[in-house]
Amino acid sequence: MGDRRLRLGNQRDWVWRGWQVRYTFLRAVNPSETSNPPLLLLHGFGSALTQWHENLLPLSQSYPVYALDLVGFGASEKASAPYKVGFWVEQVYEFWQTFIRQPIVLVGHSLGALVALTAAATHPDMVERLVLLTLPAARQELLPKRIQAVVGEVESLFATPLIITPLLYLIRRPRIIRAVLRSIYINQERVTEELVQNFLLPGYDRGAANVLYRLTKARTQNDFSYQTKDLLSQVQIPILLLWGKDDRVIPLDWGRQLPPLNPKIKLVIIPDAGHCPYDERAECVNTEIQDWLANSG
């Protein structure tokens, strides 16, 4: 337990707009590196700051490191909130204004990568560099325009509490979570009981079913997020794009389409990794981030 607390840093709670938010902080270990910019890490869909347990300490050797549970996830409040990427961008920006107040390196995985990219485009004063792991496409980029409205209507039929609440009770079981994680992870040894519990426990929080309903409903709308390709063309800062070679959730074929959109993007493919390279190949990912940061200022 002590080792777990050490790996996850100094966890605290912050009240944002009346909602309780979990975050953590680690000071830079090397005092000679105090001029380095802080890092702020944003987790993926259904996850939490605990996903960075293999990254926080190594990155804090040279950089102050923060990680945040987005509202609705992890140990943050399961609020009745307007869940869209722009909503989480507001959370990130106000966290930055409260605790950091200097340009940062924003690191995001999957949904967190989309939030990070949107935040950099919306608040260029906040972000000096971006590290994006498996950046997803927006809904509008996945569906032909002519069928978006029809698909949205069909999806909305299933995005009801009558279906979502029993679904949560079904998936809120260790064997179900374990099976899902094993379908995502290439390195099966990384699917530990600790990992299963990290995904399982937030589903028992009060309001979890309401959050799942609101998220499911929001994801059927085109205004859930801006288009990823449009955002990439707007951002004028260095971007490190990391992708698991065998990602089954967001295939590498999509990732290969992104570097031509912006000359400041560097794509690095992580071998022997799927959707979660930060965990499956943590040492490799940490080294790639540290080396890139040292040479991309």
The reported pLDDT for the residue numbered 148 is 45
pLDDT score for 128: 97
pLDDT given at position 167: 67
Q: Which residues have C-beta within 8 Å of that of residue 65, sequence separation ≥ 6?
A: 9, 25, 26, 28, 38, 39, 41, 56, 59
CA atoms within 13 A on the CB side of 13: 9
85-123 pLDDT, tens digit each: 999 999 999 999 999 999 999 999 999 999 999 999 999
pLDDT of residue 143: 54
CB neighbourhood size of 194 (10 A) = 10
pLDDT number for residue 151: 42
Question: In angstroms, how far apart are the furthest CA atoms of the chain?
Answer: 58
Report the distance separating Cα 258 and Cα 152, nearest Å.
26
- Domain limits of the chain? 2-143+223-295
At residue 100, what are phi and psi to the nearest 5 degrees? -115, -65
- pLDDT single digits (tens) 232-290: 999 999 999 999 999 999 999 999 999 999 999 999 999 999 999 999 999 999 999 99
Question: How far apart, in whole angstroms, are the C-alpha atoms of residue 161 and residue 209?
Answer: 8
20 or 165, greater pLDDT: 20
Write down the pLDDT at residue 221. 80
Provide the pLDDT for residue 204: 86
CA distances from 39 to 56, 142, 293 (A): 10, 31, 11
* Whole-number pLDDT of residue 213: 83
Write out the two tokens for 212. 């799942």
Write the pLDDT tens digit of every residue in 127-181: 999 999 999 998 888 755 554 454 454 445 445 555 566 666 677 789 999 999 9
Domain 2-143+223-295, architecture per CATH: 3-Layer(aba) Sandwich (3.40)
Tell me which amino acid residue 102 is: Q
DSSP SS3 for 101 = coil
pLDDT score at 34: 63
Q: What would the pLDDT profile of 190-215 be if each residue is shown by its tens digit?
A: 999 999 999 999 988 998 888 988 88
Mean pLDDT of the chain: 89
Order the strands of the 239-244 sheet from edge to edge. Answer: 10-16, 19-26, 65-68, 39-42, 104-109, 127-133, 239-244, 265-270
